[in-house]
């Protein structure tokens, strides 16, 4: 049975990814920076499959280290990493406060990088791994980086990290970025076009790519996007 870690799994798209992966027979570690919220979400998904909560704040290096140690003690390897946790601060590059910039970089870029550094070596050693970096159309140069500044810049950097990691890793460990589209969550708002179920599908596809699947790409559903 494969094991997946989904960051920010307690709500929104992350929660739906946990549900869909569990439904496909994956052992899901639902990462949540608030343990109670994550445990409650994991209980709600119990009928879908094997889901357990892991307290994980991706902005805190000590929290990631603790998770890694905990999993090592249980002889559990992360096969699939879904870097989903993110924050969105609205405002232009000059308007945003420095701490809003720092939080965007801490969570949206460095959080994903830290999780990769913690869990990718195990995938390389095992000769199998899938990493899904949840990005956004707002992080695309080709689409004009049209989102709020800190969010767009941090997602563009996450895209760059995706490409860089894919170059560095063997083909057996696939690293891709994905745009879920505009989704009805706390971040996307009630007017968004897609349900969390629709938004999550493209992420789950990349999480379960076959051995001949792509690496170093940027996708929305099955469509390849320009960076
Ligand atoms: P959401 O409902 O706001 O959920 C964000 C999740 O990230 C929450 O679980 C939140 O936890 C978690 N999070 C934030 N900071 C964290 C930290 N330091 N450590 C761990 N978890 C943290 O957002 P969403 O719409 O589901 O978005 C999921 C992903 O899709 C994000 O990467 C987002 O950028 C991307 N995306 C969304 C849309 C959209 O329209 N919704 C569009 C494009 C891309 P708490 O509950 O503790 O705050």
- In terms of Cα–Cα distance, which of 204, 100, 205 is closest to 151? 100
**Residue 195 backbone dihedrals phi, psi, to 5 degrees:** -80, 160
pLDDT at 59: 98
Q: Report pLDDT for 11.
A: 98
- At the second CATH level, the architecture of 3-224 is 3-Layer(aba) Sandwich (3.40)
Decide whether any atom of ligand 1 lies within 6 Å of the 86 Cβ: yes
Q: Would you state the pLDDT for residue 135?
A: 98
List, edge to edge, every strand of the sheet that includes 80-83: 51-55, 27-32, 3-6, 80-83, 129-134, 173-178, 218-220, 223-224
Given the CA of residue 87, which atom of ligand 1 is nearest to it?
Answer: 14
Q: Is 215 helix (H, G, I), strand (E, B) or coil?
A: coil
One pLDDT digit (tens) per residue for the chain, 227 residues:
999 999 999 999 999 999 999 999 999 999 999 999 999 999 999 998 899 999 999 999 999 999 999 999 999 999 999 999 999 999 999 999 999 999 999 999 999 999 999 999 999 999 999 999 999 999 999 999 999 999 999 999 999 999 999 999 999 999 999 999 999 999 999 999 999 999 999 999 999 999 999 999 999 999 999 99
Cα end-to-end distance, the chain, whole Å: 33
Q: Is 34 in the pocket of ligand 1 (CB under 6 A)?
A: yes
Pairing mode of beta strands 173-178, 3-6: unpaired
- The per-residue DSSP string of 194-221 comes to B-HHHHHHHHHHHHT--TTS--S-EEET
**Cα(87) to centroid(ligand 1), Å:** 6
Residues 6 or more apart whose CB falls under 8 angstroms from that of 143 comprise 137, 226
The yes-or-no answer on residue 138 being catalytic is no
Domain boundaries, the chain: 3-224
pTM of the model: 0.98
- The per-residue b/e assignment along 57-81, b for 16 or more CB within 10 angstroms, e otherwise, is bbbeeebbeebbeebeeeeebbbbb
What is the atom index within ligand 1 of the atom nearest the CA of 33?
20
- Residue 78 is predicted with a pLDDT of 98
């Amino acid at each position: 049975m494969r094991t997946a870690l989904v960051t920010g799994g307690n709500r929104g798209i992350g929660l739906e990814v946990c549900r869909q992966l569990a439904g496909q027979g994956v052992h899901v570690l639902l990462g949540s920076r608030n343990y109670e919220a994550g445990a409650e979400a994991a209980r709600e998904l119990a009928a879908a499959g094997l889901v357990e909560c892991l307290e994980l704040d991706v902005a805190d290096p000590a929290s990631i280290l603790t998770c890694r140690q905990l999993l090592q003690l249980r002889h559990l390897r992360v096969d699939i990493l879904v870097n989903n946790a993110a924050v969105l601060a609205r405002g232009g590059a000059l308007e945003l406060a420095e701490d809003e910039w720092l939080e965007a970089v801490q969570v949206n870029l460095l959080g994903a990088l830290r999780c990769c550094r913690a869990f990718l070596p195990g995938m390389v050693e095992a000769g199998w791994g899938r990493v899904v970096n949840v990005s956004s159309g707002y992080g695309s140069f080709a689409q004009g980086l049209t989102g709020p500044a800190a969010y767009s810049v941090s997602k563009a950097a996450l895209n760059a990290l995706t490409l860089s990691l894919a170059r560095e890793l063997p083909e057996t460990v696939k690293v891709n970025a994905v745009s879920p589209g505009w989704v009805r969550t706390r971040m996307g708002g009630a007017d968004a076009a897609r349900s969390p179920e629709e938004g999550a599908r493209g992420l789950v596809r990349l999480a379960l790519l076959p051995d001949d699947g792509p690496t170093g790409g940027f996708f929305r559903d099955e469509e390849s996007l320009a960076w």
